[in-house]
Chains A and B, each alone.
Chain A
Amino acid sequence: SQQGEEDPQALSIQEGENATMNCSYKTSINNLQWYRQNSGRGLVHLILIRSNEREKHSGRLRVTLDTSKKSSSLLITASRAADTASYFCATDRAGANSKLTFGKGITLSVRP
């Protein structure tokens, strides 16, 4: 079964606006990661947050993790047309080292 479930499935915003994407998971995790995929390309790692962390920043990205709710959010501030892509959360389940389970992804469209 899918460990990570993102929502919304698709998001369309205007350039300059903030984009918030959510991910929920089912079992205990060691880490949660977010990846980006441009159309027809491989995935690119964006950010990793450990289970003992609550918030992490990287440039225009802000990730939060709530292990009590088994959920995470990815915020992209001041979005750009180049942020248009699919975004995936991936979890590394406790006791299942070396393997990641990916959600189905969120398609983000940023209108110029």
Chain B
Amino acid sequence: SQTIHQWPATLVQPVGSPLSLECTVEGTSNPNLYWYRQAAGRGLQLLFYSVGIGQISSEVPQNLSASRPQDRQFILSSKKLLLSDSGFYLCAWMTGFSYEQYFGPGTRLTVT
């Protein structure tokens, strides 16, 4: 069966510090991968998605970047965090044959 992991679960970082969030998927090959951000009490904002290794599409210009160094690994990064980067970050995967997305447990990021 397929599983998706995200870490860390929670993170408190000062403004101006770097960020690296990791997402890995097990039990599937060549998944589409997604990073979303969810502000408190709000819907999901798609940040990046990837249909293959090294292929990254950015949805919203911002202070973040994403990379896909391996088929089942998706990384969200920032060189210098802003207060507005605080939120709940969710990674998701989808096969190329189905439109259903499967989400990780999320990372709660607080920038202080």
Contact = CB atoms under 8 A, between A and B. Distances in A.
**Are A and B physically bound partners?**
yes
A88 interface: yes
A98 B88 CA distance: 22
Interface residues of B, number: 22
B43 interface: yes
Nearest to A50: B99
28 contacts: A2-B43, A31-B99, A40-B106, A40-B108, A41-B106, A42-B90, A42-B92, A42-B103, A42-B105, A42-B106, A43-B44, A44-B103, A45-B100, A45-B101, A88-B43, A88-B44, A90-B101, A92-B99, A98-B32, A98-B94, A99-B46, A99-B59, A100-B46, A101-B46, A102-B43, A103-B43, A104-B42, A105-B42
Q: What does DSSP make chain A's interface, helix, strand, loop or mixed?
A: strand
A22 interface: no
Contacts of A104: 42-43
A92 to B, nearest CB: 5
B43 A42 contact: no
